[in-house]
């Protein structure tokens, strides 16, 4: 694998009504839903790995630890950044942070595991 510690990726989102806690059923207010910010952080980890894994493999998320510390209104631009901190065999541990401008929205860790796509999909059959 063409991976090294410090590898980074990012993902951007302009919050829409479809991204809110109300739309996700995770709350009663029209602000960025925690499940959506988790997905954005996972997207950033996925972007960090683009073109770097062997053919026939991918990575899947297996653990997320995230503190969502600030609400983001509809129309806000939120940017998630991921940095590969540690590799242990097939396990990849990223630190993640999401910001709205200079304000921290969320921070934590995302762990992914590199898998053979065919073997992984065979488990669903």
DSSP H helices in 8-106: 21-24, 34-49
Residue 30, in any domain of the structure: yes
Residue 1, in any domain of the structure: no
pTM metric for this prediction: 0.95
Closest CA to 111 of 88, 91, 96, 97: 91
Domain at 46, CATH number: 3.10.129.10
Range(s) of the domain holding residue 14: 8-122
In this prediction, residues 42-53 reach a mean pLDDT of 97
Number of domains in the chain: 1
DSSP H helices in 50-107: none
Tell me the per-residue pLDDT of 6-22, one tens digit each, with 9 for 90 and over: 999 999 999 999 999 99
* CA gap 8, 114 in Å, rounded: 17
Residue 103, in any domain of the structure: yes
* CA gap 6, 85 in Å, rounded: 6
Residue 2, in any domain of the structure: no
* CA gap 108, 72 in Å, rounded: 17
Tell me the per-residue pLDDT of 50-102, one tens digit each, with 9 for 90 and over: 999 999 999 999 999 999 999 999 999 999 999 999 999 999 999 999 999 99
Residue 54: φ, ψ to 5°: -60, 150
């Amino acid at each position: 694998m063409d991976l090294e510690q410090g590898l980074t990726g990012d993902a951007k989102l302009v919050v829409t009504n479809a991204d809110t806690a109300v739309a996700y059923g995770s709350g009663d207010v029209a602000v960025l839903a925690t499940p959506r910010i988790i997905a954005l952080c996972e997207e950033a980890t996925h972007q960090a790995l683009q073109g770097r894994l062997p053919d026939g493999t991918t990575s899947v998320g297996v653990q997320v630890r995230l503190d969502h510390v600030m609400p983001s209104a509809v129309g806000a631009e939120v940017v998630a950044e991921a940095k590969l901190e540690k590799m242990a065999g097939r396990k990849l541990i990223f630190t993640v942070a999401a910001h709205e401008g200079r304000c921290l929205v969320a921070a934590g860790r995302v762990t992914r595991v590199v898998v053979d796509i065919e073997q992984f999909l065979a488990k669903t059959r």
